[in-house]
Each structure stands twice: as C-alpha cells, then as structure tokens.
Structure 1
Amino acid sequence: MSAEEAPPPLDVPAEVAEAMGAFLLGEAPGLTQHEVAERAGVPIEVATTLWHQLGFPHHSDDDRAFAASDVEALRLASDLVQMGILPPDQQAALVRTWGRSYARLAEWQASLLAGLAAEAGDPAAHLTELASDVLPRVEALQTYVWRRHLASAAQHLLEDSTALTSAESELSVCFIDIVGYTAQSRRLDGAELVAWVDGFEQDTTTLVVDHGGQVIKTIGDEVLFTVADPAAAVEIALALTTRGDDEDDPFPAVRAGIAHGAVVRRLGDVFGSTVNAASRLTSAARPGSVLVDAGVHAALTAAGDEAHEDAPEEDPEARWRWRRLRRISAKGFRNLEAWRVRAREM
C-alpha cells in the first residue's frame, strides 16, 4: 500500500474505544492511583515514580484509570525490588528500557489492528473482534521470543567467564552506514522508504546472526552490531559492502567501521571507547569501504607482528589485504590508527 492509498482515519465511537481498553486490561478501569498503591501495599510515591519511568500518562488523584492488573503489576515490581532483581541503582534505567521497548511495539501493533479494521469497512464492529483473535496469539509469541532470547543471552554469559564478574567484555563493534541516505529518502515516498530501510535492516540482521553476532540497535540509516570474533565482523562488513557495490542488487551502498576492544554492556546497549572508535572510523570511511582500528588489525595479522605494515602481497594464506591510512583526528581521538581491509581476490 502506497502513502497515497493509506486507510482513512478511523471513526470509532467512544464506547467502542472504552470496550477495547477494558478488553486489553482485563476489566474496565475503576481504581484511582491511590487505591492501586494501597491494595498493592506500595507507597504512592514509589508507584507514581514507577509509572513515570514506564512512560504511562499522568493521571490526577480522582481519575479512575486503573484496574486490578495494575495492582498485580505493582506487587510484582515490589517483589523484584525486595529480591534484589531491581536494585535501586539500576531500577530507573531498566524500567525506562522496558517502557520504551513496549511502547514502540504497542504503537506498531495498534496501528496494524487499526489498519485491518479500517480495511474491513466497519472499524467499530471489527476492532474488538480482531483484538480478541489476534492479541492472544501475539502475546504468546512475544513470550516465546523473549524466552528464546533469554536462553541465548544466558548461554553467552555462561560461555564468557568474565561477563559474570565484569561489566566489560572483549568484543568487535561495527557500524554499517547507508551511503546517500538523505538523497534517496527524498526520491522515495513514505512506503517505499520504509520498505527500502526494512530490507537493509533485515538482510544485515540475518548476516550478523548467521555469523554469531548481535544487532544492538538500528539508528535510521545505520546498524550497530557486536560479535566476539573480529574475523566475523570483517566478513560481515565486507559481504555487505560488496552487495552495496552491485548495481543489480537492491541492497544500498554502505560503508563500515570496526573496532575491537573492551566494551561496556548495559541494558542491551554498548558503551565505551571501542564503540566511539568504530563510529569515528565509519564516518571517515569512503563509500563501499571498511575501516578497522589497531585492535582488529592486530588480532587478524600474524599475532600483530604486522601491526605497522601492509600485509605482504606474496602471502598466499592471507584472507584479506590491508592498507594503512593516515591517523584519523576526530572527536575524542587525536590520532586514531586506521586500516582499510579488503577481501583478497582468489
């Protein structure tokens, strides 16, 4: 469906919207925030702070906008605090992350249901029916996806002995950046731009996961991923830049920067000098090229013996060709060492 064919705004009576809210919450809201806090045995100040961190809208003391599910949720949150799962120094950040993640997911799901209801011709008659059929399946699927990711994360932690005792891990960090995104976004309508970016994100994610990596986040025209093996990071980046150079491939032209070293992991994100170095290298890279830092180069060249020279052309076993570049001066780095890496032609 193109932007011009978008469904018209929904005309849903207030009673239908209220019925939808009651269905989603399990019952019609009838409690004030003070009543919820009292029934949960939690101080009202703690309850309102939690709701703010989750991104819920503000309600006055007299608004009956809460249900029994809010009481149970507040009890569960209090239990997690008492168990030490939500320590005071991490509670706010973790709850905010929950709120942001589910808010984005809920907005997409609500838009999807609204679009389907509009296409049915009678939104008021079909919206609640659609929700009752679709949402239980979506909820079960979300739980499955969460448990699978939890199992994978637990396995990675147990395999990395330092991850259980230190906030830092040794990782390769890579940014994949679309070249010419602004110009392309002006040529495409909304639906075409979404499809184009979705294809980029999907193909990149598939390749990263297949190489044992993890996509940390997508930032519009850019994907940030990590992987333990620097060789895998280089293979991914080179594969994507090669696709981008192919005029017959719809995959966009990209550039990449990779750095290897200590990385701080927190709430699904990564921080530290290694991440910053990868970002600076990406900004300095030319279209279709992959730049790496000294950490990647040393790890992938004869135990680092060639850290200051180009890889010898006569070496038939070399997987890649290296070209040392001038040191990069960028924000936070006065002399960032950089190499361009390319696949050796066979």
Structure 2
Amino acid sequence: MDDDVVAFTPADVEALRHARALVVLGILGPDRQAALVRTWGRSFARLAEWQTGLLADVAADSDSGSDPGSGSANDQAASGLAGLTDEVLPRVEALQTYVWRRHLAGAAARQLALGEHGGESAPLTVGFVDIVGYTSRSRTLDEAELVAWVERFEATVTGLLTEAGGQVIKNIGDEVLLTADDPTAVADVLLELVRRGADDDDPFPGVRAGLAHGEVVRRLGDVFGPTVNLAARLTSAARPGTVLVDRGVHDALREQRPDDLVLRRVRRLSLKGFDRVEAWALRPAD
C-alpha cells in the first residue's frame, strides 16, 4: 500500500503489544515467532474463508425473494451480508473462544499424561486413511455432492477415532492423518472403516490404511518424522480394503490382542525412503 494509506488500526497496535509481552515473558522465543505466525495465519485464513462463504450463501438465499426493484443483486447481497455480520460475528467469536479453551484443556491433559515424554518427541501410533478411487468418483459428482461425500468421510473417521481416544491431525485432500497413544484402539477403528467401505449398502467409501508406531516429533499441532513417513508409505502400498502395519504395531497387537486380531505377514516392501520394510496385513479374527 502507499505510505499515506491508513492500513492499520489501534487493534493492530494492541496486538503488537500482546505479542511483545509474550516475547518478554519468554513464551514466544525468536525461533518460534515466524512458525507461530504462519500457523495462525493459515488456520484463521481458512476459517475466515469458510465463514465468509457461508455468510454470503445465507445472505444470497435470503435476498433471493426480495423485491427486484429495491436495488441491484450485488447491493442486496452486500446489505444482507452486513446485517448478518453484525448479528453473527459476536456469537461466532464467543464460540471460537469456547472451542479453543476446550481444546486447550484437552491438550494440557494429554501433555501431563505424557510425563517424561512431555517434549516435542514422543512414541505414538500414526496412521493414514485414504479413499480408494477418489479421482474417478469425484468426476461423477457435482461440487455440492463432492463436498458432502468428503465431509461424511471426514466426520465418520473423526467420530470413530475420537471415541477410541485418538486424534485427527489433519485432512490432506482425500486422506486423513491420525495419531493415538494406543495401537490397539486405533487398529479397531481402521478395521471398522475398512468394513464399512466394503459394505455395498453403506455410503462410506472404500478405503486403504497404514499404521506405524515409533518416535514422533510433535510441532504446532502437526507430527513429523520417520514414523509418519512410514505410515504414509504403508498406506500407499496397501491394497483397497486393507490395513498394513509395521513391526511396532505388530508387536503391540501380538502382546495385547493375540486372540481377536489376525496379522498376516506380507512380502518385504521396498518403499520410498525405506528399504525392505517388514509389514503385516491386519484383519479381525472372525
């Protein structure tokens, strides 16, 4: 912007004061400032885009039945959007604060439960769930149908995983990245997703999955490291309707669930970044 354009407000000055206070308190070090800005920026930008689109759709629907002579369609939509914004934004802001505090409490509880593994690195079970045939199916759906289809997939995975004590880290297109402390709990979730995907009467799509257990680096709500990469490679190598697991998950399941889960060894896999990986196909005993 030009130098004489007023681009900032007192709220921006206050935000800088808060940021500076966090630096002085030692909460926000130089090495984390840029990463935090990027994470906040990406998260809130996506949220704002979704909320603005939602409000615009509602405003357009409400204006569709208005008097045609009361102004242009753009003017009517703008007027409706402004009215909705004044009414809705305070409630949205209050709900966002509430949701954030609830997640903060949950994250604090998980951090305390980690004990000596309270740093950025900890042993975790990491999995990916991938929709089979996503590209071909997406070509047969219009925009609204595609969005609804993907949202049903994400909602089902999130619901089952949360009930089992796991956590969805992020959605990557037609794929979900998840973590759990207990390999046995997430194994049941993946088997249930595979079962539903194979049921012709269930609208849930066919899936494949990969699961690995080991040290994982946690940073700004995301996970990194060889264990994550291995889980992704196992997912890519899995056949439709199959769950592949690594040695870490295999050993945990053999110890804790020797009777109700079947682990069939597959040939060693040569995966990108990994040579001759031991892997097992996971199935329920029945």
Match of 2:240 in 1: 287
CA distance in 1, matches of 2:47, 2:102: 18
Runs of at least 5 residues in structure 2 that lack an aligned partner in the other structure: 64-75
Runs of at least 5 residues in structure 1 that lack an aligned partner in the other structure: 1-58, 304-310, 312-316
* DSSP-derived class of the 1:200 partner: helix
Match of 2:230 in 1: 277
CA distance in 1, matches of 2:126, 2:192: 16
CA-CA distance at 1:135 after TM superposition:
0.7
- Does residue 109 (structure 1) correspond to residue 51 (structure 2)? The answer is yes
* DSSP-derived class of the 1:248 partner: coil
- Higher-strand-fraction structure: 2
Match of 1:132 in 2: 86
CA distance in 1, matches of 2:236, 2:50: 31
Match of 1:28 in 2: none
1:340 to 265, 281, 284: 281
CA distance in 2, matches of 1:245, 1:196: 16
1:95 to 37, 40, 46: 37
Q: Is the 8 A contact 1:162 1:169 kept in 2?
A: no
Q: How many residues are treated as equivalent by the alignment?
A: 274
CA-CA distance at 1:77 after TM superposition:
0.9
Map 1:1-346 onto structure 2 (within 5 A). Answer: 59-121=1-63, 122-164=76-118, 166-302=119-255, 318-345=259-286
CA distance in 1, matches of 2:255, 2:38: 45
Q: Is the 8 A contact 1:176 1:254 kept in 2?
A: yes
Q: Percent identity?
A: 61
CA distance in 2, matches of 1:268, 1:61: 37
Match of 1:26 in 2: none
Q: TM-score, normalised by structure 2?
A: 0.93
CA distance in 1, matches of 2:197, 2:44: 33
For the aligned residues, what is the CA RMSD? 1.3
Q: Deviations over 1:297-317 (max 9, x none)?
A: 0111138xxxxxxx9xxxxx6
CA distance in 1, matches of 2:213, 2:81: 50
CA-CA distance at 1:231 after TM superposition:
0.2
Q: Is the 8 A contact 1:260 1:296 kept in 2?
A: yes
CA distance in 2, matches of 1:158, 1:302: 26
CA distance in 1, matches of 2:53, 2:163: 31
